[in-house]
Copies of this chain bind each other. A is one copy, B any other.
Amino acid sequence: MHNDLIVIDGLQYSNWNRAIFKQLREGGVTMVHVTIVYHEQIRETLLRIGEWNRKFEVHSDLIMPVKCADDIRRAKELGKVGIMFGAQNCSPVEDDIGMVEIMRELNLMIMQLTYNNQSLLATGCYEAVDSGVTRFGQQVIKEMNRVGMVVDMSHSAERSTLEAIEISERPIVISHANPLSFHDAKRNKSDTVLKALGDSGGLLGFSLYPFHLKNGSDCSLNDFCDMVANTADLMGIDNIGIGTDLCQDQPLSVLEWMRNGRWSKSMDYGEGSKSNADWPKPLSWFRDSRDFPNITKGLIARGFNDQDVAKVMGLNWLNFLDQGLQPQTVVR
């Protein structure tokens, strides 16, 4: 069965190169949602897309762009890794509602409304107060619904997330986070949020970033799979997937960019601290994309049947994107 698995990673931000693309293929990854920007604005986002277009040209034997959900199936058939663009902040839209459609035309398929801080659209999970989805945010969600761009609330605060689920006419995702009940972190999500997400047909991608895990870098595969099982009970087996948050081979400067953008004069350490400012040590059982089979094995060992393993490893993401990337033809 395992060679037939469609494996989807709901988020990576790696220092992309040919070796990493090969690892993705070796790990059996069919499609990876790649973060193309954190805080980059329009012009810089175009720069990133241009860089990806060059990669698609140079590494066309290994990777291909995902321009619709069927491209994921096509990648599987061709033995290539599908690359789906996403943004971890709404900076590619800047202050312009018209940029939503334009970015979607450029294959930006998924966008977070916030990244830790307050954005023009909603509140991030690091702000002291969460005022929910803003006036502009309400319009952007509606527009994302219309053009088939997925709303991602991974880095958003609780009220904003609940409001986004409510406002969005289509299910949304939390592409890379874990339950707060598993590990207490600003980035993890309450049962209230996860329940609302599942009930609305949304999807959670489980994060393998040590800061989001019980015991951090020492989190065991057993504990991880227990969390998956418990969350399946809470949200439903059709509403969970993987979103590793793998940030491979990135220098510290990239972590600092993620955490500080251009907004801070003093160093913000985000999920780390002054004495623990660097990238966390990776998990022993998930060092890079070659270790995806370890997750599959772990789920089987935990008692998931083949069908459910297939769902968690990729089918749920695929089904979600089949709907989510379709432009709306009829407004309700």
Contacts and interface: CB of A to CB of B under 8 A. Distances in A.
Given A117-B134, A118-B136, A263 B97 contact: yes
B135 A118 contact: yes
Given A117-B136, A118-B118, A262 B95 contact: yes
Given A39-B95, A95-B91, A265 B118 contact: no
Contact of A96 (B95, B98, B262): B262
A135 B123 contact: no
Contact of A131 (B91, B123, B139): B123
A308 interface: no
- Number of copies of this chain that the complex holds: 2
Interface string A229-242: 00000000000000
A130 to B, nearest CB: 7
Contacts of A265: 97, 139, 143
A129 interface: yes
A205 B139 CA distance: 33
Nearest to A143: B265
Most chain B Cβ neighbours within 10 Å, of A120, A129, A137 = A129
Bin the interface of chain A by size.
20 to 34
A138 to B, nearest CB: 10
A205 B265 CA distance: 32
Contacts of A94: 41, 94, 262
A50 interface: no
A119 interface: yes
A127 interface: yes
A77 to B, nearest CB: 39
Given A95-B39, A262-B95, A131 B127 contact: yes
A264 interface: yes
Most chain B Cβ neighbours within 10 Å, of A94, A97, A263 = A263
A155 to B, nearest CB: 13
A261 B91 CA distance: 16
A263 to B, nearest CB: 4
A210 interface: no
Given A97-B262, A139-B265, A265-B97, A132 B129 contact: yes
Q: Which 4 A-B pairs have the closest CB atoms?
A: A131-B131, A129-B131, A96-B262, A118-B134
10 contacts: A39-B95, A95-B261, A97-B262, A97-B264, A117-B134, A118-B134, A128-B131, A128-B132, A129-B132, A139-B264
